[in-house]
Structure 1
Amino acid sequence: MILATIETIPEREIVAILGIVTGNVVQSKHIGRDIMASLKGIVGGELKGYTEMFNEARAQAMARLEAEASALGADAVIGVRFTTSAIMDGSCELLAFGTAVKLR
């Protein structure tokens, strides 16, 4: 499966648009990470616990997007984008979306 942020795949022809596909994850805070983030906020620097959590959420969202595209019989997903939103206090959603296509 080709996953791309661009709108075309070089040297390949799009023969069918199968539709929009998505993958999302809703992630909540972890008390241990919050404590470490609060301490790090005092001295500054990267919040590695949150970086790791976000990387895991992104990988899971991409896997879900790819699974949805595969179920449609897609060869690729083009125009892949990410967005985040707050769901409630202490949690957020990471959404990956794009267009599933068949290629020649």
Structure 2
Amino acid sequence: MKIYQKIREYSKEKGETMKEIAAAYGVTPQSIQLYFSGKNAMPLNFLAWYIETHPDLDLYALFDRKQQNIVAEPKPTYGKKAQKQDVIDKIVAILEQEL
């Protein structure tokens, strides 16, 4: 799937109209239609703007021909990074309990 096709499908899923995208970007809806149909090459400025305004897009998936889904996976939340002393204290507590 080509980049313009991926962005077109993503836009449809989001319920965005070409008129809304055109107004936000500052071009005519016909320009957006030409980008999304592949008749005109999608300018790099437009592509950069679209990615900036849609932070859930996965840039690597967008450019990978094998990837169909271009929405990034939600980033996992990690707990607080353990301090070295906290780890040592836990090890000591376990050793005291076991020995």
Between structure 1 and structure 2, the one with the greater Rg is 2
Higher helix fraction: Structure 1 or Structure 2? 2
The two structures share one fold, judged by TM-score above 0.5: no
Q: Normalising by structure 1, report the TM-score.
A: 0.29
Higher strand fraction: Structure 1 or Structure 2? 1
